[in-house]
């Protein structure tokens, strides 16, 4: 029996959706601290959500190219993970990990075979790798923005690299993605929303159920 896939529900803004994700069996929950995102959560609300989740589920705060004061402010809240979702270099990731004292997940955008070659730079400086779709040209924020990338590109990835898969996942395609790609975990945000930033409890439940069916 393979280990069950880790399921992360990201972009949570309310305690009701947090509770729904935990009740449905999520392994990790993610909160965005990035003002340009429709899922942005303030430091005050982050503190509340992390407090509510503590001891029930692993928490992850998503930051985009944060400065040291932002890292320190978020790390002080005691999340289990900080996810770096910007253009951070391997050196910067390593510095943030040393500074924050919490586990670091690094998102690497994938859009071409060339991008696969960049993944290995981060395996020693981050505790976990997240592969996400490269944002379209001109996008004002990182991430796949609800789009998936060509999963066949991952055939060229070093098989020893464990990773979480993100980008365009939904309750309808997550089972296929797990079977095809064999990720360590899956991460969803917009794929379980009824509108940008508005999570749908039934979609969250369906996503976790379908991911667990593998």
- At 122-166, the pLDDT tens digits run 999 999 999 998 876 655 544 444 578 899 999 999 999 999 999
- Return the CATH class of domain 6-212: alpha beta
Cβ burial, residue 18 (10 Å; 0-12/13-18/19+): buried
- Residue 51: how many other CB atoms lie within 10 Å: 13
For the whole model, what pTM was predicted? 0.93
pLDDT band at 213 (very low <50, low <70, confident <90, very high): confident
What one-character DSSP code corresponds to residue 129?
E
d(CA 46, CA 118): 31
Please, which residues have CB within 8 angstroms of residue 111's CB and are 6 or more apart in sequence? 133, 134, 149
* Contacts for 83-88: CB closer than 8 Å, 24+ residues apart: 83/30, 83/107, 83/130, 84/126, 85/34, 85/132, 85/142, 85/143, 86/142, 87/142
Q: Where are the domains of the chain?
A: 6-212
Average pLDDT over residues 189-206: 95
Catalytic sites, residue numbers: 10, 132
């Amino acid at each position: 029996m393979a280990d069950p896939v880790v399921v992360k529900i990201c972009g949570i803004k309310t305690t009701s959706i947090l509770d729904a994700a935990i009740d449905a069996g999520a392994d990790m929950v993610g909160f965005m601290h990035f003002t340009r995102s429709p899922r942005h959560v303030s430091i005050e609300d982050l503190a509340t959500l992390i407090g509510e989740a503590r001891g029930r589920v692993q928490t992850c705060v998503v930051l985009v190219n944060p400065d040291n004061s932002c890292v320190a402010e978020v790390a002080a809240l005691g999340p289990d993970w900080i996810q770096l979702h910007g253009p951070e270099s391997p050196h910067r990731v390593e510095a943030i990990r040393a500074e924050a004292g919490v586990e670091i997940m690094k998102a690497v955008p994938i859009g071409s075979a060339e991008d696969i070659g960049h993944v290995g730079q981060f395996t020693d400086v981050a505790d976990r790798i997240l592969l996400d779709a490269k944002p379209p040209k001109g996008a004002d924020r990182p991430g796949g923005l609800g789009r998936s990338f060509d999963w066949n590109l991952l055939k060229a990835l070093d098989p020893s690299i464990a990773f979480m898969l993100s980008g365009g996942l939904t309750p309808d395609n997550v089972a296929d993605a797990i079977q095809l790609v064999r990720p360590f975990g899956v991460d969803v945000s917009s794929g379980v929303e009824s509108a940008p930033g508005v999570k749908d409890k039934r979609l969250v439940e369906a996503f976790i159920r379908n991911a667990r069916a593998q």
